[in-house]
């Protein structure tokens, strides 16, 4: 079950960390993987892999409300009262992680093409159960263009450089040029960085860099929360999104996300640079994708078995009523 914190108001965290934020593995009393779960950035897939690896030593840390942030002090308090925790995933934390003498956080940051992310966000709200987030209701009531125009008018922070905002400002304001520069600096100092479009490269780099501290780490995965029937290729999805939006709205969204596009491009380049530093990439990638395939098959068989069990129980119930 995810942990929930009170008093989640975000505080500024000193980003001048010198050699302590170099993304490398450091000798510390305690090492913790810290995954920033940005909404619709393959975060559920990554966090489930962490949970499978660490079990009770994995924690999901959430604020009481969907639109609140967890402060650095609150994160440290949580770590102090949970000495068993070795991996954390949170929708409500933002980089950079706090610097302490007792804990080394190994941060994981996954980004996504901003327009594809906006499309996926709408699709998610359309099929999600209604929650305290009013957008789950709004998306069900209007078509895509009307929904996006509503966000631009009332909640521009959700559709205007949202990832730059989270990385640089903990979601506090619409980003400016200086915020992009800050986000780029944070990105380069992050232990594990990548983009959804090259997810396997990012995850393999995470395995490679973190295994000296977590020797049994296996980040093979099963995809979670994927939009049904979505096009496989990014460009195909963007073409369909453009057609659904219309040229004027699409152009507006491109302009509103120019910082995010630069940040995502930088994340992709940094991820590939780190990937190329790993030896025997083709063999590692083949082995990793074999693990992913095997895990996906096992999940499929398990899900099918559970469905059959449920059908059997319902059938047995109907037969008992007939008797």
Confidence (pLDDT) at 2: 59
Confidence (pLDDT) at 128: 84
H and E: helices and strands count for the chain: 12, 6
C-beta of residue 210 within 8 angstroms of C-beta of residue 85: no
> In this predicted model, what pLDDT tens digit does every residue of 104-163 receive, in sequence order?
999 999 999 999 999 999 999 998 887 777 888 899 999 999 999 999 999 999 999 999
The CA-based angle 128-130-133, given to 5 degrees, is 100
Q: Tell how far CA 181 is from the center of its chain.
A: 21
Q: Any idea of the CA torsion for 182, 188, 193, 194, to the nearest 10 degrees?
A: 80
Rounded CA gap, 42 and 117, in Å?
Answer: 10
Rounded CA gap, 234 and 217, in Å?
Answer: 29
Strands (E), the chain: 3-4, 31-36, 58-62, 87-90, 104-111, 192-195
Structure tokens at 50: 């962490």
In order, the DSSP letters of 100-152 are: -SS-EEEEEEEE--HHHHHHHHHHHHHHSPP-SSTHHHHHHHS-HHHHHHHHH
How many CB atoms lie under 10 A from the CB of residue 13? Answer: 17
**Residue 53: closest CA among 220, 195, 206, 212:** 220
10: pLDDT confidence band, cut at 50, 70 and 90? Answer: very low
The mean pLDDT value for 77-83 works out to: 95
Rounded CA gap, 238 and 100, in Å?
Answer: 42
Rounded CA gap, 71 and 92, in Å?
Answer: 9
Residues 6+ apart with CB under 8 A from 248: none
pTM of the entire predicted model? 0.84
> In this predicted model, what pLDDT tens digit does every residue of 176-188 receive, in sequence order?
899 999 999 999 9
Rounded CA gap, 179 and 169, in Å?
Answer: 7
Question: What percent of the chain shows pLDDT beyond 70?
Answer: 88
Residue 16 has pLDDT above 60, yes or no: no
C-beta of residue 241 within 8 angstroms of C-beta of residue 232: no
> In this predicted model, what pLDDT tens digit does every residue of 24-52 receive, in sequence order?
444 557 999 999 999 999 999 999 999 99
> In this predicted model, what pLDDT tens digit does every residue of 190-227 receive, in sequence order?
999 999 999 999 999 999 999 999 999 999 999 987 77
Domains recognised in the chain with CATH numbers = 3-112+162-226+257-278 (3.40.50.300)
Confidence (pLDDT) at 303: 73
320: pLDDT confidence band, cut at 50, 70 and 90? Answer: low
CA distances from 150 to 22, 135, 255, 258 (A): 41, 10, 17, 20
Helix, strand, or coil (residue 98) = coil
Structure tokens at 107: 């941060």
The CA-based angle 33-34-36, given to 5 degrees, is 145
C-beta of residue 195 within 8 angstroms of C-beta of residue 270: no
The mean pLDDT value for 49-66 works out to: 92
Confidence (pLDDT) at 12: 35
Rounded CA gap, 300 and 303, in Å?
Answer: 5
């Amino acid at each position: 079950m995810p942990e929930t914190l009170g008093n989640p108001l975000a505080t500024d965290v000193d980003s001048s960390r010198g050699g302590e934020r170099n993304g490398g593995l450091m000798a510390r009393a305690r090492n913790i993987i810290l995954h920033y779960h940005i909404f619709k950035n393959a975060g559920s897939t990554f966090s489930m892999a962490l949970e499978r690896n660490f079990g009770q030593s994995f924690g999901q840390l959430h604020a009481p409300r969907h639109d609140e942030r967890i402060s650095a002090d609150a994160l440290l308090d949580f770590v102090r009262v949970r000495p068993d925790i070795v991996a954390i995933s949170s929708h409500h934390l933002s980089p950079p992680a706090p610097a302490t003498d007792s804990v080394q956080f190994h941060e994981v940051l996954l980004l996504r093409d901003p327009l594809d992310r906006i499309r996926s966000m709408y699709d998610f709200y359309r099929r999600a159960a209604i929650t305290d987030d009013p957008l789950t209701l709004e998306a069900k009531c209007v078509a895509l263009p009307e929904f996006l125009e509503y966000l631009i008018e009332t909640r521009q922070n959700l559709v205007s450089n949202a990832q730059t905002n989270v990385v640089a400002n903990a979601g506090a304001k619409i980003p400016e040029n200086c915020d992009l520069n800050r986000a780029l600096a944070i990105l380069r100092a992050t232990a594990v960085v990548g983009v959804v479009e090259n997810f396997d490269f990012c995850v393999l780099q995470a395995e490679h860099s973190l295994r000296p501290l977590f020797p049994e780490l296996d980040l093979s995965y099963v995809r979670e929360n994927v939009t049904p029937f979505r096009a496989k290729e990014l460009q195909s999805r963007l073409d369909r999104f453009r057609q659904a939006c219309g040229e004027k709205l699409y152009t507006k969204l491109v302009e509103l996300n120019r910082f995010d596009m630069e940040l995502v491009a930088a994340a992709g380049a940094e991820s590939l640079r780190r990937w190329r530093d790993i030896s025997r990439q083709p063999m590692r990638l083949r082995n990793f994708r074999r693990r992913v395939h095997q895990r996906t098959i096992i999940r499929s068989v398990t899900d099918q078995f559970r469905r059959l069990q449920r059908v059997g129980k319902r059938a047995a119930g109907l037969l008992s009523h007939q008797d």
